Amino acid sequence: MSMIQIGEQLDNLLKWEVGTAEKMLELPPNSELGDFAFPCFVLAKSLRKAPQQIATELSAQFQNQTIEAVAEGAYVNFRLDRGAYAAKLLLQAEGHTASPNGETVVIDMSSPNIAKPFGVGHLRSTVIGAALYRMYKEAGYKTISVNHLGDWGTQFGKQITAYKRWGNEERLNASPIRESLALYVRFHEETDQDPTLEIEARDWFRRLEQSDEEALRLWRYFVDVSMKEFDRMYERLCVSFDKVLGESFYNDKMTAVVEELQQQGLLEESEGAQVVRLENQDMPPCLILKSDGTTIYPTRDLATAIYRHDVLKADKLLYVVGAEQTLHFRQVFAVLQKMGRAWADQCQHIPFGLMKFEGKKMSTRKGKVVFLEEVLDEAVSRATAIIEQKNPQLQNKADIAEAVGIGAIIFGDLKNNRIGEINFSIEEAVQFEGETGPYVQYTHARACSVLRKANQIENKQELDQAVGTYTWDEASWELLKRLGDYEIELNRGLQRQEPSVIARYALDIAKLFNRFYHYNKVLSAEAADKQIRLKLTQLTAMRLNWALTLLGIRSPQEI
């Protein structure tokens, strides 16, 4: 609102296209300098003047009764008339419901492999994808989340081979996922001494593709036990899916893709395999059929994308998959373009960096897996101990500890830029101080506690009158301004496909509220001041709940 006004007048003075100056506005390093700052360095070359001189001239030309412009070095700082803007900012902070924009976004997320443990490494795709899903929905999009299970491929040939060689049905029934992992690891260990294992595995996968009864029986068993394990994890993470469609779902849809590529003259033979050449786009060939005639990931992903566009009616397709798959998705999207699918430019890979656990990289093949369930249990246990110490009389301690412990794990991931590598530490994540989920949840609970103790019904007329007379100290003013930024932050998060924007916003609100609460009496304030301060407290609770909900984290009213 105020940024738009400042930007429009600067655009007018500089004869720029509307919206240009607004994007350049910055926040001063401290609020005493003003509410917004405009850097004049970029104008020095075109205007052939020193930035300081430009700032002085611009500030003199800027005319607005409720916004003061002051030159400060190479910047023009803008100060809002707090009395004039407070009522507007309070209204802005209340928020509104986004109207549907008509676009459908399909988000491919989580996608664990069948017969493999749900490790900490799967966390990133799951929680980043789920946060983006909620953010798009909040912005008015129709969102469809898809769990693209890894339930097909050569790894099942390896899994069946290992089971046939060394498997024990009793051990498998007792602990299906851990035993499956042990068999998978042993397969890769034994392969070095026995190369025939790879041949046997390829044969079992070929039999699976040809609907061999024994291969299908074992495959279904691995799928069923894996889904039970996954569903327990998803329930604890408060994640659900609109569609659960594994790679096997597309088995009957790949032939049409291969035939279309052949008809269009895009397939070429290379060492017995069938590929699509992509040299003109500076990429290696995209493998479509292996030399033994079996399909591979790009074939399935082409069929998947076409299904999501044609059947699910997606306008935008997002793939929340690790950064190591960047080349794969570039190839798939390039092949779609060659096939004449104009919508391929609406397919986007949302990469993320590796998650290490206490400095160690996870590897399913080597058995170096940190089970997510164990991490969640440990986080909840630590949260329980802290709550027991801080508030031993708390009702529903077990449920709140679950919300805090799991919230700590999710927030510990999402507060980071998704493309960066994370070295995860439970001890750091489950702290009630610092940049953590429990800190934000605790601040929300503190705000709720103040409101409960006040037990006061808001009187709009009295509030409106109080706004005009309230002395807006720095702590109150900075909190109020930031509360109204939620929509800006949502849009910024979507532009960057970055849930960390919302997590950082939540941390900002929590820090500003705690500062405000430290410097201002709330419950014992004079009547008029109390109205304003309770309103700021109410808006804080609302915005923290809003941000945590988008991130998939619960907001207990007591901790």
pTM of the model: 0.91
Q: Is 460 exposed, middle or buried (0-12, 13-18, 19+ CB in 10 A)?
A: exposed
> Cα(253)–Cα(264) distance, rounded to whole angstroms?
17
User: pLDDT class for 414, splitting at 50, 70, 90?
Assistant: very high
Q: Provide the Cα torsion 215, 217, 222, 225; round to 10°.
A: 180
Residue 362, pLDDT above cutoff 80: no
User: pLDDT class for 360, splitting at 50, 70, 90?
Assistant: low
Token pair 């036990």 is found at 225
pLDDT digits over 246-300, tens only? 999 999 999 999 999 999 999 999 988 999 999 999 999 999 998 877 778 899 9
What pLDDT does residue 47 have?
92
Residue 21, pLDDT above cutoff 90: yes
Higher pLDDT, 462 or 386: 386
Residue 520 near residue 537, CB atoms below 8 Å: no
User: pLDDT class for 178, splitting at 50, 70, 90?
Assistant: confident
Residue 496 near residue 504, CB atoms below 8 Å: no
Smallest Cα–Cα separation from 454: which of 513, 533, 541, 520? 533
Residue 2, pLDDT above cutoff 90: no
What pLDDT does residue 361 have?
58
Q: Sheet of 273-276: strands edge to edge? A: 267-270, 273-276, 286-289
- The domain spans of the chain are 2-80, 104-357, 372-551
Start-to-end CA distance of the chain, whole Å, equals 36
Residue 300 near residue 254, CB atoms below 8 Å: yes
What pLDDT does residue 416 have?
94
Choices 3.30.1360.70, 3.30.70.1070, 3.90.470.20, 3.40.50.2000: CATH for 2-80: 3.30.1360.70
Neighbours of 29 (CB within 10 A): 8
Q: What is the mean pLDDT of the chain?
A: 92
User: Where does 372-551 sit in CATH, by number?
Assistant: 1.10.730.10
Residue 353 near residue 420, CB atoms below 8 Å: yes
What pLDDT does residue 122 have?
83
Common-topology check for domains 104-357 and 372-551: no
- How many angstroms separate the Cα of 300 from the Cα of each of 31, 170, 274, 285? 54, 35, 14, 16
pLDDT digits over 162-176, tens only? 999 999 888 888 888
- Work out the angle at residue 230's Cα, subtended by the Cα atoms of residues 227 and 235, and round it to the nearest 5 degrees: 120
Tokens representing residue 351 in the block: 């990469």
β-sheet bridge partners, residue 422 = 355
> Cα(305)–Cα(254) distance, rounded to whole angstroms?
11
CATH topology for the 104-357 domain: Rossmann fold (3.40.50)
Residue 132 near residue 342, CB atoms below 8 Å: no
Higher pLDDT, 497 or 100: 497
Q: Could you give the count of Cα atoms lying within 13 Å of 295 in the half-sphere of its Cβ?
A: 24
